[in-house]
Amino acid sequence: MIISDVELRRIHLDLVKPFRTSFGEQTSREILLVGVTTADGATGWGECVAMSEPLYSPEFVDAVELVIRDFLLPRLTGGADVKAAEVAHLLEPIKGHQMAKAAVEMALLDAELRVANTNLHARLGGERTQVPSGVSVGIFPTLDALLDAVQGYVDDGYARIKLKIEPGWDLEPVRHVRDLIGPDMGLQVDANTAYTRTDTEHLCALDEFDLLLIEQPLATDDLLGHRDLARAMSTPVCLDESIESFAQAVDAVELGAAEIINIKPGRVGGYLNAVRIHDMCRDQGIPVWCGGMLETGIGRAANCALAALSGFTLPGDISASTRFYARDIVTDPISVHDGFVTVPQALGLGFDLDHDFLDSVTTSSHRLSALDGRG
Ligand code: SMG
Ligand code: MG
């Protein structure tokens, strides 16, 4: 593909209700979209999962836009013929910035698939046409409010519940939710790095609730702490924030720090790296599941295609679009039926944009003519 034009577009979407995690509360989402137009006249879109502030990871929207514009695009433009599968390698000289890189790769992949008249589901070769859908439930001001919300998601048909936890909001909420949903429904917790090694005994008290996993209890760089916790707890330890690359996934698995991995394509530099991590984990007998970053229908469609691969043996955070947004920017938003979402079969990543609505939520748009690459 020869990139002829790039659009960096920001959108703002209000959340249907606030979403609180151990690192803060969100009431809206600011998202950077990357649109690439190729010399064949195809347009592809990628969605960057970075948040507005560097609270989940070091990346954030303002920085991502700058990095893409000044450092990533110049390495892919200037008339060069670039395949999506080459993007990660071409961008390797730029250190880090996995979410920025993923968004660029995604846009090129979308364009490439559209030109080839196929989609991501077919390209990745996922066996399934439906994937089980889990929902991520935030921290609430009261137990009653939490239980109301969980009951609503159970009624919506979700296949499993993930509770956000933090010190002071863990054993009791988990106990009440387990009582509410019964022993058979999948339940897991996500601490987003809120605990330390000194909390081991406290965290072991979660073992009695038969959780599918505990996600990222300790700091991002505390692999040994996660290994020791994994030895102490019967609940499997799952890493999210700690895994930003294929190499880190290999190390974490070998060390015994990751008994399960949450694969987020944005966090690991793109869908193709995500597939490599999936393949490695499948070979090592490590279950994986597809995480979520409050994506729009662009990322949500692509995540469905990824989660259709056979190693994704646990339900992902791939909920209905309406779990976060009253209206999505795609024409056919993801919805949940009997615990499953259907892998979209539209061309490209699997979505078509609702251009009028997209324009109405756009807050800025910068077009770059890509023929003057500076790589
Ligand atoms: O998209 O369903 C979703 C969100 C899932 O909880 C979710 N994501 O750590 O896994 C995680 C969080 C990261 C984003 S929290 C603002
Ligand atoms: Mg997480």
> What CATH code is carried by the domain that includes residue 101?
3.30.390.10
172 & 293 share domain: yes
| Distances, alpha carbon 271 to alpha carbons 102, 145, 179, 245, 263, in Å | 7, 36, 37, 12, 10
Candidate from 19, 21, 295 with most ligand 1 atoms within 8 A of CB, to mutate: 21
Residue that is written with structure tokens 């935030």 in the block: 138
Atom of ligand 1 at shortest range from CA of 323: 2
CA dihedral defined by 346, 351, 357, 362, rounded to 10 degrees? -150
Residue nearest to atom 13 of ligand 1 (CA): 293
**What pLDDT is stored for residue 78 in this prediction?**
85
CA of 261 to the centre of ligand 1 (A): 14
248 & 294 share domain: yes
Whole-number average pLDDT of the chain? 97
225: in domain: yes
Tell me: the pLDDT tens digits for 275-290? 999 999 999 999 999 9
Split into its structural domains, the chain has a count of 2
Please state the rounded mean pLDDT for residues 167-173: 98
348: in domain: no
- Judged against a pLDDT cut of 90, whether residue 158 lies above it is answered with yes
**What pLDDT is stored for residue 337 in this prediction?**
96
Please state the rounded mean pLDDT for residues 298-323: 98
| Distances, alpha carbon 19 to alpha carbons 155, 189, 234, 295, in Å | 19, 15, 29, 14
Tell me: the pLDDT tens digits for 6-55? 999 999 999 999 999 999 999 999 999 999 999 989 999 999 999 999 99
Tell me: the pLDDT tens digits for 240-250? 999 999 999 99
25 & 155 share domain: no
CA of 341, nearest ligand number: 1
Residue span of the structural domain in which 202 resides: 121-342
347: in domain: no
CA of 163, nearest ligand number: 1
Q: Nearest to residue 148, comparing CAs of 113, 107, 176? A: 176
Q: Which residues are catalytic?
A: 164, 264
> What tokens were used for 134?
């889990």
Please state the rounded mean pLDDT for residues 146-157: 98
Residue nearest to atom 6 of ligand 1 (CA): 136
> What tokens were used for 345?
């079969």
CA of 354 to the centre of ligand 2 (A): 29
- Judged against a pLDDT cut of 70, whether residue 300 lies above it is answered with yes
105 & 144 share domain: no
Q: CA 220 to CA 242: how far, in whole Å?
A: 4
- Judged against a pLDDT cut of 90, whether residue 222 lies above it is answered with yes
375: in domain: no
Q: CA 51 to CA 62: how far, in whole Å?
A: 9
Q: CA 189 to CA 164: how far, in whole Å?
A: 6
70 & 105 share domain: yes
144: in domain: yes
CA of 213, nearest ligand number: 2
Report which residue type is found at 60. F
Atom of ligand 1 at shortest range from CA of 216: 9
**What pLDDT is stored for residue 370 in this prediction?**
63
40 & 98 share domain: yes
Residues with CB under 6 A from ligand 1: 21, 26, 56, 136, 190, 192, 240, 291-294, 317, 319
CA of 136 to the centre of ligand 1 (A): 7
CA of 81 to the centre of ligand 1 (A): 35
Residue nearest to atom 3 of ligand 1 (CA): 292
User: What residues contact residue 208 under an 8 Å CB cut-off, 6+ apart?
Assistant: none
Atom of ligand 1 at shortest range from CA of 317: 2
64 & 207 share domain: no
Candidate from 293, 314, 318, 341 with most ligand 1 atoms within 8 A of CB, to mutate: 293
Sign of CA dihedral 89, 75, 51, 47: negative
**What pLDDT is stored for residue 372 in this prediction?**
53
166 & 147 share domain: yes
Does the pTM surpass 0.95? The reply is yes
**What pLDDT is stored for residue 35 in this prediction?**
98
CA of 53 to the centre of ligand 1 (A): 14
Please state the rounded mean pLDDT for residues 347-375: 87
303 & 159 share domain: yes
Instruction: Identify the band that residue 375 occupies on the pLDDT scale cut at 50, 70 and 90.
Output: very low
200 & 332 share domain: yes
Atom of ligand 1 at shortest range from CA of 293: 1
- Do residues 243 and 222 lie in contact, with contact meaning Cβ atoms separated by under 8 Å? no
Atom of ligand 1 at shortest range from CA of 164: 6
| Distances, alpha carbon 292 to alpha carbons 133, 173, 205, 242, 362, in Å | 11, 22, 27, 15, 22
Instruction: Identify the band that residue 374 occupies on the pLDDT scale cut at 50, 70 and 90.
Output: very low
374: in domain: no
Helix axes 98-115, 297-307, angle to 10 degrees: 80
266: in domain: yes
275: in domain: yes
**CATH number, domain at 171?**
3.20.20.120
**What pLDDT is stored for residue 371 in this prediction?**
53
82 & 132 share domain: no
110 & 181 share domain: no
- Judged against a pLDDT cut of 50, whether residue 359 lies above it is answered with yes
| Torsions phi, psi for 103 (to 5 deg) | -65, -40
